């Protein structure tokens, strides 16, 4: 393996993953949400209701910025606030039914686009290679 091959592979993989993410974003009906809003919705969906402070820490933003994000999502009807179960000074945010429907539509659109792209653009052999590469990528992302 040439000495610079891992660096070239890293650059190519990073650019390709970024391009894939752009295609997935474009394929889904989520254009009205910012990347932070999409991330917050997904985080609450997978990890459950959360406070402003917890979400700000998780998203690496200031609490003031997170308040703006949460207010916009609440106004759109995809998040709802409720009293914190043990700390009356705080509130927790959770997905509404509309929020769950929105996330499901976004995920379905992304999945559908990717399924069609794989089916239409790759041969059977290339799909097997992609499956192997997906396994390797999972290994790269596991701490």
> Quick check: is 19 in a domain?
no
What is the CATH number for 95? 1.10.10.10
pLDDT band at 55 (very low <50, low <70, confident <90, very high): very high
pLDDT of 33 strictly over 90: no
Q: Does residue 70 lie within any of the structural domains?
A: yes
Cβ atoms of residues 56 and 65 within 8 Å: yes
| pLDDT for 8 beyond 80 | yes
Domain count, the chain: 1
pLDDT tens digit string along 82-115?
A: 999 898 889 999 999 999 998 888 889 889 999 9
- Token pair for 137: 């990528």
| Residue 31 confidence (pLDDT) | 59
In a domain, 128, yes or no: yes
Tell me whether residue 53 is in a domain: yes
In a domain, 104, yes or no: yes
């Amino acid at each position: 393996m040439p000495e610079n091959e891992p660096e070239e592979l890293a650059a190519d993989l990073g650019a390709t993953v970024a391009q894939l993410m752009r295609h997935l974003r474009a394929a889904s009906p989520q254009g009205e949400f910012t990347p932070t809003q999409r991330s917050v919705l997904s985080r609450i969906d997978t990890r459950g209701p959360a406070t402003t402070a917890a979400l700000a820490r998780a998203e690496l933003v200031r609490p003031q910025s997170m308040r703006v994000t949460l207010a916009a999502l609440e106004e759109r009807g995809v998040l709802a606030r409720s009293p914190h179960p043990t700390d009356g000074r705080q509130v927790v945010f959770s997905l509404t039914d509309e929020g769950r429907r929105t996330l499901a539509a976004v995920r379905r659109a992304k999945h559908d686009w990717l399924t069609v792209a794989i089916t239409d653009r790759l041969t059977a052999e290339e799909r097997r290679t992609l499956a192997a590469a997906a396994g390797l990528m999972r290994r790269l992302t596991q701490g």
